[in-house]
Amino acid sequence: NPKDILRTHSDKLVHAISVNLYNVTDALYAKELIPQQTKDEVHVQGVADNKKASNLVYVLEGQLESSLNPEQYLIDICHVLINQQHRTLTDIATSILHQLGECVCVYIISDQYSHYISIH
């Protein structure tokens, strides 16, 4: 159940998102995964980033519940998280995708080379 999967990862997700709050929010908005109002609320000054990240995950849970295809919505979120190229976000997204039974393709960038790896 996508809702349960997202809920079980929500605490780690809030912390990881709070470190990259604005980049993650802008990327989710660009992929039409969150409404404009949510993006605007994240960019408001005077609220702690952890609280904003918690609200963002709450919005994602609500959007997931109302989605016509919750599994695809959660997959799309995971792709946005992986594209942030932040290890913790990638680890969380990979774990979620594994629970959904998805093959995970991750773009690895190092100092020497870059390539895709497929994780089954």
pTM for this predicted structure: 0.84
Contact of 76 with 33, CB cutoff 8 Å: yes
pLDDT for res 106: 53
Q: What angle do CA 89, 110, 28 make, to 5 degrees?
A: 30
- Phi/psi at 117 (5° precision): -125, 150
pLDDT tens-digit series, residues 38-79? 999 999 999 999 999 999 999 999 999 999 999 999 999 999
79: Cβ–Cβ under 8 A, 6 or more apart, which residues?
Answer: 93
